C-alpha cells in the first residue's frame, strides 16, 4: 500500500485517535499516526501519517497553523469551550467592537500563554488533562508563542468569529479565554476549524468517508 501523508478533514465529535483508528481499519495497517492533535470539538486539517511516514511526525508539529473559530462572550468553562463545566457567567453587553479591537491588539505577536489544564502538555510524566479530570490543578509555566495574525471576522455578541495564524503550541481555547478575561466578561470557544497546517490546507483535505489510497501523498524530508 501507499505510504506518506493523508490530509483528513476531521469532523466534529471525533478525537484525533478516532481518526487514526479509522485510517488503520480502512487501509489495513497498524502504522498510522497523526501530527498535531485536534480537540473533539474541533474540525479541519488533521495530518495523518501512514507507514514509514510515522517516523516524520516531529517534522510536522513545528509547522505554523491557522484557525477559524467562534467564541462566546459571558461564559467561562473549565475546558475553555462549550463542552466543559460552566464556571462563571458574566454580562457582556458593555463590550463594544472598539473594546475588542483594543484588547486583541495585545494578543498579536510574541506573547506568553499559560497551557490550559485540559491539554496534552506533560507534568511529572502525566498529561495535564489526566490531572484535570480528577479535579487537580497543577502549577504550569507560561510558554512563549507567536500570533502572526489575529482578525475579527464577525462581531455579533455574544458570538465573535475570528481568524488566527499562529506558531506551534498555541491553544485557541486559551486564547479566547484570555481575551474574555481581559474584556472582563469571560469567553469560551463554541466552534473551531483548523484551516491550515504548514503548507497543507483545508481545501486539500478529504473526509473520513471519501478517503482512499489515492489521497495518500508521498513526503520526504
Q: Phi and psi for 144 in degrees, rounded to 5?
A: -80, 125
Please name every residue paired with 110 in a beta bridge, in sequence order, or none if there are none.
Answer: 146
* Known catalytic membership, residue 78: no
Q: Which of 12, 18, 39, 210 is catalytic?
A: 39
Helix, strand, or coil here: 63? coil
Assess contact for 54 and 3: CB atoms under 8 A.
no
List the grid coordinates of 116: 490550559
Distances from the Cα of 175 to the Cαs of 47, 60, 86, 130, 172, in angstroms?
A: 23, 22, 18, 21, 5
Q: Where are the alpha helices (H) located in the chain, listed in sequence order?
A: 16-27, 57-61, 97-105, 128-132, 172-183
List the grid coordinates of 187: 469567553
Q: Supply the residues annotated as catalytic.
A: 39
Amino acid at each position: 500500500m501507499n505510504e506518506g501523508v493523508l490530509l483528513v478533514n476531521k469532523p466534529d465529535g471525533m478525537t484525533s485517535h478516532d481518526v487514526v483508528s479509522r485510517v488503520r481499519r480502512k487501509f489495513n495497517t497498524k502504522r498510522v499516526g497523526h501530527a498535531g492533535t485536534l480537540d473533539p470539538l474541533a474540525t479541519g486539517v488533521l495530518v495523518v501519517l501512514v507507514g514509514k511516514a510515522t517516523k516524520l511526525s516531529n517534522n510536522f508539529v513545528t509547522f505554523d497553523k491557522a484557525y477559524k473559530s467562534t467564541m462566546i462572550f459571558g461564559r467561562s468553562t473549565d475546558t475553555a469551550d462549550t463542552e466543559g463545566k460552566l464556571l462563571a457567567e458574566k454580562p457582556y453587553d458593555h463590550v463594544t467592537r472598539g473594546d475588542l479591537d483594543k484588547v486583541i491588539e495585545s494578543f498579536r505577536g510574541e506573547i506568553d500563554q499559560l497551557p490550559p489544564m485540559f491539554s496534552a502538555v506533560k507534568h511529572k510524566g502525566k498529561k495535564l488533562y489526566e490531572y484535570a479530570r480528577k479535579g487537580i490543578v497543577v502549577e504550569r509555566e507560561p510558554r512563549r508563542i507567536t500570533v502572526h495574525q489575529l482578525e475579527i471576522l464577525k462581531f455579533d455578541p455574544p458570538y465573535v468569529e475570528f481568524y488566527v495564524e499562529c506558531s506551534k503550541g498555541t491553544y485557541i481555547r486559551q486564547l479566547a479565554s484570555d481575551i474574555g478575561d481581559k474584556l472582563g466578561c469571560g469567553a469560551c470557544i463554541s466552534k473551531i476549524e483548523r484551516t491550515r497546517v504548514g503548507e497543507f490546507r483545508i481545501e486539500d483535505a478529504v473526509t473520513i468517508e471519501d478517503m482512499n489510497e489515492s489521497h495518500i501523498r508521498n513526503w520526504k524530508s
